Amino acid sequence: MNLTLKIWRQKDSNSKGQMVDYKVTEISEHMSFLEMMDVLNEQLVNAGEEPVAFDHDCREGICGMCSMYINGEAHGPDRGVTTCQLHMRMFKDGDTITIEPFRAAAFPVIKDLVVDRSAFDRIQHSGGYISVNTSGNTQDANSIPIAKQAADQAMDAATCIGCGACVATCKNSSAMLFVGAKVSQYALLPQGQVEAADRVKNMVAQMDLEGFGNCTNTGACEVECPKGISLDNIARMNRELMKASI
């Protein structure tokens, strides 16, 4: 298929950006979206132009590096996938596709489609861990049974890949789904209880400090999350915060 791409080009964080049109031809429907971008970039390099910068690494939907806002949706039109798992069969010959970076005040643009998501790391530094030394001198792994349901729910929360689609999607640029997922993982496990109150307070405080917005229960984040992280996690985080505050 032949496509028109409207892509956000921005030289660096200090420059002004703009949308630029490109044409790509003979795109196979079996290509992944990023392979289509590779075709474009190869075309640009061969023409002596600068290729479009975008983040990507594992290309199998788990590292969380890729981050494109395609036709007005984080990770594009498919559900339950990251940009790298999006395939061209979701598009039609002759389509015009708009490609922007993840937009949020807390995610400044580095170049073109690459944004700085270090705010997520700083939230994790503020409490996204259990304070146990890695000496290996802990108790036997089976000494505390954990109900299967709790373990499974913790796992569901822990599958968050930290891509930031929730923030990019949210009209308030809220990071509550991301923070809620981490808080929930530990809140559901016995190992996380000791520091639960400090953890949720510190992580929420850091989230606010980074300039993320608040949650107004729109639920768009859950729809766009490539890993299907549930809104329940935000509710659990609020409950944890309430518990910790009184």
CA–CA dist 164, 155 (Å, integer): 19
Q: Residue 88 or 215: which CB sits closer to other proteins?
A: 88
Residue whose CB is less far from other proteins, 114 or 237 = 114
d(CA 112, CA 3): 20
Phi and psi for 98 in degrees, rounded to 5?
Answer: -100, 125
* Complex with other proteins: residue 162 or 213, whichever CB lies closer: 162
Q: CB under 8 Å to 90, separation ≥6 — which residues? A: 76, 77, 78
Q: Considering the complex, what minimum distance in angstroms separates the CB of residue 145 from other proteins?
A: 3
Report, in Å, the least distance between residue 54 CB and other proteins: 9
Task: Characterize 216-234 residue by residue with b for buried, 16 or more Cβ atoms within 10 angstroms of its Cβ, and e for exposed.
Answer: eeeebbbebbbbebbbebb
Min dist. Cβ of residue 173 to other proteins (A): 18
Give 39 or 235: the residue with its C-beta nearer to other proteins: 39
The secondary structure of residue 172, as a DSSP letter, is: T
Q: Residue 218 Cβ, how far from other proteins at the closest point, in Å?
A: 25
Number of neighbours of residue 21 by Cβ within 10 angstroms: 9
Contacts 24+ apart (CB under 8 A), 73-77: 73/169, 73/224, 74/102, 74/164, 74/165, 74/166, 74/168, 74/169, 74/224, 75/163, 75/165, 75/224, 75/226, 76/33
In the bound complex, what is the minimum distance in angstroms from residue 214's beta carbon to other proteins? 24
Task: Tell me whether residue 53 or residue 244 sits nearer to other proteins (CB atom).
Answer: 53
- Looking at the Cβ atoms of 17 and 192, the one nearer to other proteins is 192
Residue with tokens 């807390």: 106
Nearest approach, Cβ of residue 246 and other proteins (Å): 25
